[in-house]
Amino acid sequence: MAAKIISGKDVAAQIREELKQEIDGLKQKNIVPGLAVILVGENPASVSYVTAKERACKEIGIFSDDNHLAADTSERQLLDLIHEKNNDPKVNGILVQLPLPKHIDEAKVLMAIDPSKDVDGFHPVNVGKMVVGERAFLPCTPHGVLQMLKRSGINTQGAEVVIVGRSNIVGKPLANMLIQKGALGNATVTVCHTKTKDISAHTRKADIVIAATGYPNTITADMIKDGAVVIDVGVNRVEDASREKGFRLVGDVDFDNVKEKASFITPVPGGVGPMTITMLLYNTVESAKMAAAVH
């Protein structure tokens, strides 16, 4: 029996509708959540991503403060703009789209964002709070994965979870979030990576397998047990002459074969991807509520 598909589009739409209603209520109290988006240069993927974020803000009623800067903008000019947004009461969240041009130090830029407006959840202050279990902005993609599991009725309590990938954006924070005490955690987590001797030995024992490697077909059907839940975070371009663009998007999981063995699986595209922007919107609303002392 084929796996049930977890649609990120459907879960994201559900959360966005909840946020829209919450924002409507905040506006009655003269609170308008605001997100400052800063894009340096014209990287096509970044432009597309930023445009999607700005459109999503408009759809649910978040004030979008758009800042599109030239590629030759200096590091000093960018840091000055971030300082300005840190002190702007209309702005509850600041998003600097990565990657930045090579002449700008990304770490320095991310550190310059006020942690109370770090809606990406990348600032070390927020990372530290997350690790010790304090209230913090959770990184958007890992939080999106947890919401997909929760809203699909998949219980993480006591589950054996294997994460394949240890990036600072997905693997590491997701592992930390899953071991926390709470409704979205309490799992037993194993993290596999490029130096793991036998990844299959771990994934075959897992109730939930989460792939975040950046390589197509990393997880194959023989690597999971019957009835496992498989979450595919990867997005990879593979050549496909039959497509108008000459390529198609695939995940890190051999979807066609794994879906015949798994109980739940996420597709690519349309799986985890839509959740990332949605959880950014969620963090922006949470920031507005904290700034206004609304619970």
The pTM score is 0.94
* pLDDT tens per residue, range 89-140: 999 999 999 999 999 999 999 999 999 999 999 999 999 999 999 999 999 9
Q: What is the mean pLDDT of residues 174-190?
A: 96
What is the SS3 assignment for 75? helix
Q: Which residues are catalytic?
A: 53, 97, 120
* pLDDT tens per residue, range 25-71: 999 999 999 999 999 999 888 888 899 999 999 999 999 999 999 99
Q: Do domains 30-114 and 140-273 have the same CATH topology?
A: yes
Running DSSP on this structure, what letter comes out for residue 40? E
CA distance 111 to 273: 26
Give the fold, CATH level 3, of 30-114: Rossmann fold (3.40.50)
Q: Give the HSE-up count for residue 37: Cα atoms under 13 Å, Cβ half-sphere.
A: 25
E strands present in 178-274: 188-192, 208-211, 229-232, 236-239, 247-250, 264-265
Query: Does the structural domain 140-273 have CATH classification 3.40.50.720?
Result: yes
Does residue 20 surpass a pLDDT of 70?
yes
Task: Give, for 96, the enclosing helix (H) or strand (E).
Answer: strand 93-96
Q: Where are the domains of the chain?
A: 30-114, 140-273
